[in-house]
């Protein structure tokens, strides 16, 4: 191509590469790289960001852009108004004569070209962390004399409402983002579509996904057709699937004529009045609507191009393509930003490995920063080593997307162990169990036995023998405590005796004198032998309680409501004590009206200290924190503050209690549960009392129910004490962060969470920290927004099995019922309990619920959660409070809106999205 006097304004593809994003924008830089590498990209040039800077070179425009960066992403109305002003101001600006000349001369080099494609290319789009797909303008079939205006519109589209909101949500600075524009001769495609070089639905990196339709690809983008859909295995070139879609219309070039009443499809989200040229929607003949768009050979050719593009650009690609005169051309290529990362480190045996999410198993699936990931990986490895499994199994943990995953492949390769594992996990988390079953069924050849060697014995076999050896000295105490519980003596399982559990985990993390020693102690080997021999005897009555619970369900299968009722109403239960304590605090505030009014007005704990009569309340609040201040949301994430550090959530719950309840309501609720349990126990005893042995069976059932109730309420105490250890670990690592700030290694104490263990130890030894903390923070924020799968393969595939195929109507979501009953009412979607709470009678809809969410159950009428199982914390609390609950409801927080009426069935495991008003008063249960 010829050179121009204003070469900085117009640049040809062959003069640019992927490093030139600041000049060409993301789309332009990728197209240039593909073109230089010999890919079939229509020739073209880029109107660079130099022209954009020229267009916004106005004090008023620059000041207005600066105002955008000062606004919070939540101020949507203000953002929209300022964005509209910016678009208008830019559209009223003119390019310089030299810029117009450069653009006109560049277009003139394309002889006999009737129309052009004009596409936006922002410097912040088509990046691995932000695609901006559909946020900016694209114009097709543009006549030469209209290209200049379309370039201006593309540059103004940097400030569309959707683009401004997207940048604000992703913390991308408006002032630092610029716009270039890609200009190419328009291609007249017979077919077009989208190619994903990794399956965007499952994340499988070995499956390419293709959508195809006749004409230009705008019919797919606009949703006017159901395109053909194909899946191709890139390892074998096998077309795994080809579904022919119904293609009623096609988008074609209009040519030189005026379209008349038609509209020009100018972009993925907007239409504009038709100008000369453009595109037109054409109805396809009925016979052609069901025709296949691409042959198998064409699919393989297209997928091959995609593989090469991915190799060149370094990540899986979302490629827009067109078929022109029987040949494929690539129109755009950008990273697929929705893929969940592959596990790291990758397996070194070349085989498929399957991992389950540690967070999902704990109903805490959120991303954790690097140092916290290292804590749990180290803990797992140390525990296995202590049990003698380090040499045979190594450390089975990997990380992906800020989560820790555990390799269960050795179990899946042994049929007996596979069945055992899937059955055991089903009792904890049905979707994970179903996912493991699905992946084994879909790819059985990957799970054939690899042979048995001494060094590779399945972990279950070795663990069983090792555990037996470790706990043998404790067996007499275990038997004694179980017999004591059966005899009604309770045994040692109480809060006082369990207090030592946390100390077994904390050790030198609290006792060591220096911050360095305390931080290192968090990662030191835990005395597993001592834990097993001291803790197992103490918690052995709980094993009895769980066994009795199962016996009751099997013995009274037709009375599930009564069996559930006898497992509720325990004032000594940790969860109940937390909520009773908060209710008592609300009652104390009621007795001091100035305090109650201050809480209603949103006063902080510090502000309450200056309120008349607040001493009684503040003293009681301090006592509550002494007992429970070590709890918090996402407790396994050590980087998260505990209630003592940030009690705002607790005050919000008290505020809601003051608004919706009366004095003593919380204790009346527990007394009702106790009364219901006694009544249910009587019915179960009466049911057993029949025949000659009836009186004996009645006394036997009464004894077992009493034993069950005397032990099952202690199920949360081990977690209560483990949480003390987590808090101790947190404070030890934060103290190390403070030390590193004092020695000028870090800027802020909480920067310590973005170091890895070895980096922390090096810094404590005085070595410089060569880490970009800001980048790691941004990576963590990105990971937080990822939808993490409960089961992940080494190929990056997210496996999501369905535990039970339920036939449901439209508008009904399916999950796992974990607490019986039906309730309907207003949904309250909460993603962060620190900034929102549940009003009385609302149904809590949450991504997950761990012990830190406990206070929100005080007002809730029911629970819907995206993760969890029958023994997860949310399920236990819901059953304790008699709240219907459904967990493992995929994307519940996205599909349900706050204020929407829903009906949940905790028995069937369904959530109905209702249009009508509720049919039950106050969100009651029936």
Cβ 181 vs Cβ 119: under 8 Å? yes
Cβ 207 vs Cβ 231: under 8 Å? yes
Q: What is the pLDDT of residues 425-461, one digit of tens each?
A: 887 888 899 999 999 998 899 998 755 443 344 444 4
Structure tokens at 485: 């519980």
DSSP at 199: -
Closest CA to 114 of 323, 215, 257, 255: 255
Percent of the chain with pLDDT over 70: 88
Cβ 504 vs Cβ 722: under 8 Å? no
Class of residue 485 by CB neighbours under 10 A (exposed 0-12, middle 13-18, buried 19+): buried
Q: In which band, very low, low, confident or very high, does the pLDDT at 890 lie, cut at 50, 70 and 90?
A: confident
Of the ranges 321-335, 407-421, 546-560, the best mean pLDDT one: 321-335
Average pLDDT, the chain: 84
Q: Higher confidence at residue 530 or residue 421?
A: 421
What pLDDT shows up at residue 497? 62
What's the number of CA atoms in the CB half-sphere (13 Å) around residue 706?
13
Cα Rg, the chain, nearest whole Å = 32
What pLDDT shows up at residue 925? 35
Q: In which band, very low, low, confident or very high, does the pLDDT at 539 lie, cut at 50, 70 and 90?
A: confident
Q: In which band, very low, low, confident or very high, does the pLDDT at 264 lie, cut at 50, 70 and 90?
A: very low
What's the number of CA atoms in the CB half-sphere (13 Å) around residue 148?
16
Rounded Cα distance, 95 and 89, in Å: 13
Model confidence at 657: pLDDT above 50:
yes
Q: In which band, very low, low, confident or very high, does the pLDDT at 849 lie, cut at 50, 70 and 90?
A: confident
Q: Give the pairing of strands 228-233 and 263-265.
A: unpaired
Q: What is the pLDDT of residues 275-296, one digit of tens each?
A: 345 788 888 888 888 899 999 9
From 592, 780, 782, 873, the catalytic residue:
873
DSSP at 350: S
To 10 degrees, what angle do helices 515-522 and 757-764 make?
A: 160
Q: What is the pLDDT of residues 606-656, one digit of tens each?
A: 999 999 889 999 999 999 999 999 999 889 999 999 999 999 989 988 998
What pLDDT shows up at residue 386? 64
Q: Which helix (H) or strand (E) holds 885?
A: strand 885-887
Q: Give the pairing of strands 862-865 and 843-846.
A: parallel
Contacts of 510 (CB under 8 A, 6+ apart): 518, 728, 732
Rounded Cα distance, 469 and 699, in Å: 38
**How many other CB atoms are found less than 10 A from the CB of residue 401?**
22
Rounded Cα distance, 726 and 740, in Å: 21
Q: In which band, very low, low, confident or very high, does the pLDDT at 117 lie, cut at 50, 70 and 90?
A: very high
Class of residue 248 by CB neighbours under 10 A (exposed 0-12, middle 13-18, buried 19+): middle
Rounded Cα distance, 252 and 249, in Å: 10
Cβ 405 vs Cβ 365: under 8 Å? no
End-to-end CA distance of the chain: 76
Rounded Cα distance, 909 and 868, in Å: 12
Rounded Cα distance, 564 and 635, in Å: 28
Question: What is the CA angle 712-714-717, rounded to 5?
Answer: 150
Q: What is the pLDDT of residues 496-525, one digit of tens each?
A: 666 666 677 777 788 888 999 999 999 986
Buried b / exposed e along 213-247 (16+ C-beta atoms within 10 A): bbbbbbbbbbebbbbbebbbebeeeebeebebbeb
Question: What is the CA angle 820-823-824, rounded to 5?
Answer: 155
Helix spans in 348-458 (H) = 358-361, 370-386, 390-393, 409-412, 415-426, 430-442
Q: In which band, very low, low, confident or very high, does the pLDDT at 91 lie, cut at 50, 70 and 90?
A: very high
DSSP string, 594-660: HHHHHHHTT--HHHHTTSTT-HHHHHHHHHHHHHHTT--TTTT-TTSPPTTT-THHHHHHHHHHHHH
Q: What is the pLDDT of residues 864-881, one digit of tens each?
A: 998 887 777 788 788 877
What pLDDT shows up at residue 493? 53
Class of residue 397 by CB neighbours under 10 A (exposed 0-12, middle 13-18, buried 19+): buried
**How many other CB atoms are found less than 10 A from the CB of residue 493?**
24
What's the number of CA atoms in the CB half-sphere (13 Å) around residue 40?
17
Give the total residue count for the chain.
926
DSSP string, 37-81: TT------EEE-HHHHHHHT--HHHHHHHHHHHTS-TT-HHHHHH
Buried b / exposed e along 16-40 (16+ C-beta atoms within 10 A): bbbebbebbbbbbbbbbbbbbeebe
Q: Is 272 a catalytic residue?
A: no
């Amino acid at each position: 191509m010829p050179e121009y006097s204003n070469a900085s304004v117009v640049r040809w593809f062959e003069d640019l590469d992927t490093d030139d994003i600041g000049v060409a924008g993301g789309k332009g830089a990728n197209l240039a790289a593909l073109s230089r590498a010999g890919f079939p990209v229509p020739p073209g040039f880029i109107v660079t960001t130099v022209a954009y800077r020229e267009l916004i070179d106005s004090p008023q425009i620059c000041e207005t852009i600066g105002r955008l960066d000062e606004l919070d992403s939540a101020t949507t109305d203000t953002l929209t108004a300022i964005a509209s002003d910016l678009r208008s101001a830019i559209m009223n600006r003119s390019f310089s004569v030299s810029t117009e000349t450069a653009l006109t001369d560049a277009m003139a080099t394309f002889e006999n070209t009737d129309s052009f494609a004009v596409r936006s290319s922002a410097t912040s789009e088509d990046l691995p962390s932000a695609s901006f797909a559909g946020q900016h303008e694209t114009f097709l079939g543009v006549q030469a004399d209209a290209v200049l205006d379309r370039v201006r519109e593309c540059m103004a589209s940097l400030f569309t409402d959707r683009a401004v909101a997207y940048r604000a949500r992703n913390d991308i600075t408006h002032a630092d983002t610029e716009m270039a524009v890609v200009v190419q001769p328009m291609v007249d495609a017979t077919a077009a579509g989208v190619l994903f070089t990794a399956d965007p639905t499952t994340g499988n990196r070995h499956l390419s996904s293709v959508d195809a339709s006749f004409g230009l690809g705008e019919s797919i983008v606009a949703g006017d057709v159901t395109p053909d859909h194909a899946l191709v295995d890139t390892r074998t070139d096998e077309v795994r699937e080809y579904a022919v879609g119904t293609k009623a219309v096609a988008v074609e070039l209009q040519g030189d004529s005026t379209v008349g009443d038609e509209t020009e499809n100018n972009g993925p989200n907007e239409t504009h009045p038709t100008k000369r040229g453009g595109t037109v929607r054409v109805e396809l003949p009925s016979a052609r609507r069901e025709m296949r768009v691409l042959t198998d050979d064409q699919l393989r050719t297209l997928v091959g191009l995609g593989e090469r593009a991915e190799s060149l650009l370094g990540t899986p690609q979302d490629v827009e393509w067109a078929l022109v005169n029987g040949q494929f051309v690539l129109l755009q290529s950008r990273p697929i930003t929705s893929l969940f990362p592959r596990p790291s480190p990758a397996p070194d045996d070349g085989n498929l490995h399957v991992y389950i999410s540690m967070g999902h198993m704990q109903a805490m699936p959120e991303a954790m920063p690097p140092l916290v990931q290292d804590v749990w990986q180290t803990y797992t490895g140390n525990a296995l080593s202590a049990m003698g499994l380090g040499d045979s199994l190594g450390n089975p943990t990997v990380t992906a997307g800020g989560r820790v995953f555990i390799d269960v492949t050795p179990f899946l390769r042994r049929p007996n162990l596979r069945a055992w594992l899937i059955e055991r996990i089903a009792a904890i988390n049905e979707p994970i169990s179903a996912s493991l079953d699905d992946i084994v069924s879909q790819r059985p050849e990957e799970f054939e036995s690899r042979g048995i060697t001494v060094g590779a014995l399945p972990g279950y076999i070795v663990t069983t023998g090792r555990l037996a050896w470790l706990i043998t000295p404790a067996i007499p105490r275990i038997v004694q405590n179980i017999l004591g519980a059966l005899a009604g003596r309770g045994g040692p399982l109480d809060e006082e005796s369990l207090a030592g559990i946390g100390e077994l985990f904390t050790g030198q993390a609290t006792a060591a004198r220096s911050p360095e020693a305390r931080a290192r102690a968090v990662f030191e080997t835990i005395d597993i032998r001592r834990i097993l021999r001291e803790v197992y005897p103490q918690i052995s009555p709980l094993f009895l309680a769980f066994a009795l619970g199962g016996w009751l369900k099997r013995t009274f299968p037709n009375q599930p409501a009564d069996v559930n009722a006898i497992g509720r109403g325990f004032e000594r239960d940790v969860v109940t004590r937390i909520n009773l304590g908060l209710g008592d605090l609300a009652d104390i505030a009621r007795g001091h009206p100035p305090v109650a009014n201050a809480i209603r007005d949103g006063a902080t704990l510090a502000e309450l200290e200056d309120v008349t009569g607040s001493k009684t309340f503040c003293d009681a609040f301090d006592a509550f924190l002494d007992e429970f201040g070590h709890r918090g949301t996402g407790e396994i994430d050590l980087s998260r503050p505990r209630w003592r550090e940030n009690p705002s959530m607790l005050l919000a719950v008290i505020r809601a209690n003051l608004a919706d309840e009366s004095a003593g309501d919380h204790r009346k609720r527990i007394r009702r549960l106790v009364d219901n349990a006694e009544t249910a126990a009587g019915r179960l005893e009466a049911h057993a009392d029949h025949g000659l042995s009836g009186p004996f069976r009645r006394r036997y059932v009464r004894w077992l129910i009493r034993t069950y109730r005397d032990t099952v309420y202690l199920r949360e105490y081990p977690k209560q004490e483990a949480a003390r250890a987590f808090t101790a670990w947190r404070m030890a690592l934060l103290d190390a962060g403070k030390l590193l700030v004092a020695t000028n290694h870090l800027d802020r104490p909480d920067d310590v969470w973005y170091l890895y263990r070895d980096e922390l130890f090096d810094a404590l030894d005085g070595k410089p920290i060569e880490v970009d903390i800001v980048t790691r923070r941004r990576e963590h924020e990105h990971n937080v927004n990822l939808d993490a799968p409960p089961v992940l393969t080494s190929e990056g595939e997210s496996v999501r099995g369905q535990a039970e195929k339920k036939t449901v109507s439209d508008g009904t979501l399916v999950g796992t019922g974990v607490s019986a009953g039906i309730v309907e009412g207003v949904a309250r979607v909460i993603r962060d309990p620190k900034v929102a709470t549940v009003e009385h009678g609302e149904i809590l809809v949450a991504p997950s619920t761990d012990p830190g969410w406990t206070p929100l159950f005080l007002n809730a009428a029911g629970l819907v959660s995206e993760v969890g199982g029958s023994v997860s914390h949310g399920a236990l609390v819901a059953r304790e409070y008699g709240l219907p609950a459904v967990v493992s409801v995929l994307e519940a927080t996205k599909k349900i809106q706050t204020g929407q009426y829903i009906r949940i069935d905790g028995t069937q495991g369904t959530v109905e999205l209702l249009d009508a008003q509720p049919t039950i008063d106050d969100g009651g249960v029936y």
